[in-house]
Amino acid sequence: MATIGFIGLGNMGGPMLANLVKAGHTVRAFDLSEAALERAESAGAGRAGTIAEAAAGAEVVVTMLPAGQHVRGVYTGEGGVIGAAPAGALLIDCSTIDVDSARAVAAAAADAGLRMVDAPVSGGVGGAEAGTLTFMVGGPDEAVTAARPILECMGKAVVHAGGPGTGQAAKICNNMMLGIQMLSVCEAFALAKRLGLDAQKLFDVSSKASGQCWSLTTYCPVPGPVPTSPANRDYAPGFTAAMMLKDLKLAQQAAAAGEAATPLGAAAEALYALFCNQGEGDRDFSGIIRMIDGQSQG
């Protein structure tokens, strides 16, 4: 069992920390939110007063932070992880951020004699709570091998994508596909409604035909066909529209930098921006069907 510093205890980080504690690890938690720290203590973690205190003496440091600037600050800023962690410590960043930030922080860690992987996740809050996340991991072979047993305490699949930053690349490509596919499913159900085709009948056909995809069979955006989907809970998240918009923006930034043509990704970003600007950012991303179908918001 390892001594782990865990920084970032939001909707995803809090349950991930709890699963590390359940696995028998000793975890010291840090977050700017007092309520998040109290929940971590209730889950069995110790409390750290600063980032440096969470990292000091830790064999492993795990972070789950909002964006690239936060990751850069937590790792390379004054009092940050890289300056406080002991030589040889393993750093695991599970945030979803831009590839350039991931690679810059990994290089700084390597220069300090620390091992680091970028390990963004797929699976949402439900996956974090159930310990069934998928991790897309970028980093050197030895660091990924060392990180695997820690990640397996929080997820069901660990995929080594390649060198530093490739975990982030895999995540933003995957979520661009997810955002586009969800929009296609929403449009199909809105069209079916206007053509007099029952939603369950469309699901029965498409879930067994060429229209089949995760957004349909696991996360169907209309109530009924998939009882566990957010559509049956007034689109309580899951995975918020604001988080989907963040990932689509990252994909478009990467596409511009790499001179890749992603017109459907750009269209998906624009639609999710419109949905979020209507005050729906905290709703599950599948709730965009309400906008596509012309239903009132709020």
Q: Does domain 3-163 have CATH number 3.40.50.720?
A: yes
Phi-psi region of 262 (alpha: psi -120 to 50; beta: other; left: phi over 0): beta
The CATH 1.10.1040.10 portion of the chain extends over 169-292
pLDDT for 298: 46
Q: How many CB atoms lie within 10 A of CB 182?
A: 26
- Residue-wise burial string across 51-85, b where 16 or more C-beta atoms lie within 10 A, e elsewhere: bbbbbbebbbbbbbbeebebbbebbbeeebbbbbb
| Entry pTM | 0.91
The CATH 3.40.50.720 portion of the chain extends over 3-163
The active-site residue, picked from 171, 208, 246, 249, is: 171
pLDDT in tens, the chain (298 residues): 899 999 999 999 999 999 999 999 999 999 999 999 999 999 999 999 999 999 999 999 999 999 999 999 999 999 999 999 999 999 999 999 999 999 999 999 999 999 999 999 998 888 999 999 999 999 999 999 999 999 999 999 999 999 999 999 999 999 999 999 999 999 999 999 999 999 999 999 999 999 999 999 999 999 999 999 999 999 999 889 999 999 999 999 999 999 999 999 999 999 999 999 999 999 999 999 999 999 855 4
Place of tokens 């600063």: 50
pLDDT for 48: 97
pLDDT tens digits for range 68-83: 999 999 999 999 999 9
pLDDT for 126: 87
User: Any idea how long the chain is?
Assistant: 298
Instruction: Confirm whether 193 is a catalytic residue.
Output: no
Q: Does domain 169-292 have CATH number 1.10.1040.10?
A: yes
> Terminal CA-to-CA distance of the chain, rounded, Å?
47
